[in-house]
Amino acid sequence: MNANEVKNRVKAGYKDKTLALRDRKLGLLEIGRDLAGWLETISLRPNGIDWQRRAMIEKASALLRSRRGQDSIVINFDRDQHVLFRYLILAIGQSAERIRFKSTPLDLLKADNMLVEDIDEMMMNRIGSFESDELLLNSLNSSPNVFNLVLVPGSRPDLQRSVAVRFNQGYRGVMFVPDFSMERTPWPFDFLRQHNMVMIETADGFGECWSL
């Protein structure tokens, strides 16, 4: 390998405020690929969607696609997840009636095209909107046949603990915590340790807590 090839390999990477990657394929950011291509269409500022949110969107989509014929519920406490819901509506489609969506009111930032307007109309018809965190929390389903996918901001340790309490009570699902690695003092892990659970801090910067 000559000097120019080494130099080009070093430049191949990704960097944002919390993560620097070198010498790896950046499929999540290549417009020719499914996720990155759609984000160019359904987001007003696609360059502002960082690596961790792209990875979380892809993971949530793959999880729900695999459960189209099974009961699942998406419960979102993060007002800034409109792009995720747009993509889920596209990826899962309108026919997956066994997948339900419940969310705090979303801050919609619309791209200037008719497709996004149509997607937003479909999305708002599918999503049950809750002003109250308590009512939204109570919409988690305790049935062993239902999978709960819960999104909680990294800045809300109170909600993270409340969801973990329900997981400890036998609720099935996963909690995703965007920006978990950016919090200076992530919520105490004592409760999880005491109940044989763990919050995984992913390399992409978000947290995961599973209850299976």
Please, which pLDDT band fits residue 115 given cuts at 50, 70 and 90? confident
Please, which pLDDT band fits residue 112 given cuts at 50, 70 and 90? confident
pLDDT at position 110, please? 66
Q: Mean pLDDT score of the chain, rounded to an integer?
A: 84
CB of 79 within 8 A of CB of 46? no
Please, which pLDDT band fits residue 146 given cuts at 50, 70 and 90? very high
Close Cβ partners of 72 (under 8 Å, ≥ 6 residues apart):
64, 98, 99, 100, 146, 147, 148, 149
Phi-psi domain of 170 (left: phi exceeds 0; alpha: psi -120 through 50; beta: other): left
Please give the domain boundaries of the chain with CATH numbers for all domains. Answer: 47-211 (3.40.50.150)
Rounded distance between C-alpha atoms, residue 134 and residue 145, angstroms: 23
Q: Which two tokens stand for residue 107?
A: 């801050």
Rounded distance between C-alpha atoms, residue 33 and residue 27, angstroms: 7
Least confident segment among 25-39, 83-97, 114-128, 156-170 = 25-39
- Between residues 95 and 1, which one has the greater pLDDT? 95
Rounded distance between C-alpha atoms, residue 163 and residue 209, angstroms: 9
Measured between alpha carbons, how far apart are the two ends of the chain, in Å?
47
- Between residues 203 and 20, which one has the greater pLDDT? 203
pLDDT at position 41, please? 84
pLDDT at position 5, please? 43
Residue corresponding to tokens 């999503």:
127
3-state class (DSSP) for residue 76: strand
Q: Is pLDDT above 50 for 8?
A: no
